[in-house]
Structure 1
Amino acid sequence: MTVASVSMPQELLDRIDEFADEHGYTGRSEVLREGARNLLGEFEDKQLEDRQLIGVITVLFDFETTNAEQRMMNLRHEYEGLVKSNFHNHVGDHQCMELFVLEGSLEEISAFVGKVRATKGTTTVDYSVTPVDASDAVV
């Protein structure tokens, strides 16, 4: 197996080690491999391809120590055709929550989520996607 060197904050590495111990992984490499497989597979659902989707993305970030808030605003403008709604809220003493509602293709939503995840200072990024035509079904 090929070895890859990855830089990360000590706090994150400690959390990975603790997670590995608590969940029976053989070590941090196994945790990172599984995490990478899950991340890469998130948008590979063949049932979502070639369909119009609605996506809801929730982002938490520390507004005191990063420029993540400015980056979220820039992404909102960069993807103005994709972003249908945006909500910003303060959470706790120094956290912000940004909620985006998107409408577009799997490829477009995936690109947006990737840029949000790559933003330095985000603490969590959570999302869900639903095909627009799923709401057309009458039960």
Structure 2
Amino acid sequence: MGVVSVSMPDSLVERIDEFTEEHGYTGRSEFLREAARDLLGEFEDRKLEDRELMGIVTVVFDYEGTTVEERMMQLRHEHEDIVASNFHSHVGDHNCMELFILEGNLEQISTFVGKIRATTDTKTVDYSVTPIGDGEGIV
């Protein structure tokens, strides 16, 4: 089994440790293996392949001292072919929320979400994906 060294903020390590203890994981490695499998499996749903999809992506970030807002603008323009709508709002004292409505295929939406997740200094990134026009629920 390979070994991976990961750097992360102390506050995130503390949250992982608390979660692993509360939920009966044997340690950080077991927790991170499961998290990695879940993340890798998110966009591997075969029923969504070769279908037109709608995606909703919500990003929260601290607007002071970060370049997240600029990165959101870059991604919006870079992916203008799938960004159907975009909304920006201030939330609380120092936070902003960016909402993207996407229309595209699984690969396009997956790529967009991956780039959002890779953006440094985001606090949360949430999304949902649903097929367009067939009445199925949100995945």
Could you say which TM-score interval applies, normalised by the shorter chain? over 0.9
Q: 1:34: which partner in 2?
A: 34
* Residue of structure 1 equivalent to 2:90: 90
**2:55 equivalent in structure 1:** 55
* In 2: Cα distance, 1:87 partner to 1:134 partner: 26
Summarize deviations over 1:107-127 as a string: whole Å, max 9, x none. 000000000000001111111
Name the counterpart of 1:108: 108
Residue 45 of structure 1 and its aligned partner are, at CA, apart by 0.2
Matched residue pairs, number?
136
Taking the aligned partners of 1:32 and 1:109, their CA distance within structure 2 comes to: 24
RMSD after superposition: 1.1
Q: State how far apart, in whole Å, the 2-side matches of 1:135 and 1:2 are.
A: 43
Paired AA for residue 127 in structure 1: Y
Mapped to 2, the partners of 1:2 and 1:94 lie a distance apart of: 40
CA displacement at 1:135 relative to structure 2 = 3.8
Aligned to 2:21: 21
| Counterpart-to-counterpart distance in 2, 1:115 and 1:7 | 19
Task: Give, in angstroms, the shift of residue 65 of structure 1.
Answer: 2.7
Instruction: Tell me the CA shift for residue 56 of structure 1.
Output: 0.4
Distance 2:116 2:56 in 1: 12
Task: Tell me the residue number matched to 1:124.
Answer: 124
Aligned match of 1:6: 6
Displacement over 4 Å in runs of 4+: none
CA distance in 1, matches of 2:28, 2:135: 41
- TM-score (ref. length: structure 1): 0.95
Shift of the alpha carbon at 1:29? 0.8
Aligned equivalents of 1:2, 1:85: Cα separation in 2: 42
Q: Deviations over 1:33-88 (max 9, x none)?
A: 11100000000000000000000001111111311011001100100110000000
User: Residue 3 of structure 1: CA displacement?
Assistant: 1.4
AA aligned to 1:54 is: M
Separation in 2, partners of 1:66, 1:14: 23
Structure 2 spans left out of the alignment, 5+ residues:
none
Cα distance in 2 for residues equivalent to 1:118 and 1:110: 12
Structure 2: distance between partners of 1:65 and 1:30: 34
CA shift at 1:9, angstroms?
Answer: 1.2
Q: Is there any run of 5+ residues in structure 1 with no aligned partner, and where?
A: none
